[in-house]
Chains A and B, each alone.
Chain A
């Protein structure tokens, strides 16, 4: 199973905005408890949506430029991008079924 790759401020443009398929981004930081709880769910979803949606993670401590650009002020925040535009956003820990709903609604 391929786990979501880490993206940074530097490769945000190519890995997320210019990606052909929709991209699910998990904004997280190492000190955030709920982020650690979301992580395994995102791993599972990454396998379930393999080929349809690309899954990546962005560490908000190390990549403040991107976090600021999208107004991230609470983590975990998860966003879905399609054609370079944000089309869905989830703030805070949610059960897997809710994450799936949000992804499906954005596709």
Chain B
């Protein structure tokens, strides 16, 4: 009997790694389901311009993600918008519990990505959407001809900082060290931008304002000297933490909560793979995540072939596995 909730491959997370895994899973004639809790594309959905994905000079991140989704679905990948609550082994299969009910699968690929970090200073949480933002491409337009601070020193901070200058009168990049981690080309662009200033060796200790952001309190990490700066926007890009909460206790994680996997993206548990930003030592790029997803899907294909001997969801329900295109 055909069980519509039984799959060969279930993928948790619809960013580039998950979408690429879905493409290879579906093209491998596996009954494949992608589960996404928010926006398809994950972090790249918020990226104004992706200009380092080989073969494409420049593309909007949301558009790239939509193109990847359409391609994977054209080969039969199914998509469910819900949040995963728990995963557990059930015999040889995996049981995935979500807000939309349970699914069973032979191979499970976790591509849950990472969530941006918060500063954890007073005023930050209270003023989210009121001047505190984690997405310059979404919100910078609301601060036309106003002053902003951008917190961080990596690729995201500089990319988004440069983007804000389309609107703001001045962007001060507040960075706790005396040099950026960002790629050289972004550093060159940021430092050459007349609207951008950099406050080196400085941290934000408080976001000020009642109903709307009116300023930030800053501290020089060398001298300890404190100051305030009048701004109406605070854009925060200080790294991310992998979404591995639901894996806790199941598989080993490193100190940064990244999943430990081998070169086939396999975790120590049978049929469980982790790819993209959730794994240790990910390069955290669209291109590397796509590669991770592909590797995981091919490994899952080998795993299913070796362990299920034709007893697959696709074999039980051939009609559903036939590509739409």
Contact = CB atoms under 8 A, between A and B. Distances in A.
Interface of A: 29, 31-34, 36-37, 60-61, 67, 71-75, 77, 91-97
Main secondary structure of the interface of A (DSSP, over half): loop
A49 B161 CA distance: 41
B90 interface: no
B23 to A, nearest CB: 20
B316 interface: no
A94 B61 CA distance: 19
A73 B212 contact: yes
A37 B135 CA distance: 15
B198 interface: no
Contacts of A97: 99
Contacts, number: 67
19 contacts: A32-B138, A33-B39, A33-B45, A33-B60, A34-B39, A36-B62, A37-B40, A60-B142, A71-B130, A72-B142, A73-B131, A73-B139, A73-B233, A74-B129, A74-B135, A74-B139, A77-B129, A95-B37, A95-B81
Contacts of A32: 137-138
Closest 7 A/B residue pairs (Cβ): A33-B62, A91-B129, A74-B129, A73-B142, A37-B39, A33-B45, A74-B139
Interface of B: 37-41, 45-46, 60-62, 81-83, 99, 128-131, 133, 135, 137-139, 141-143, 211-212, 233
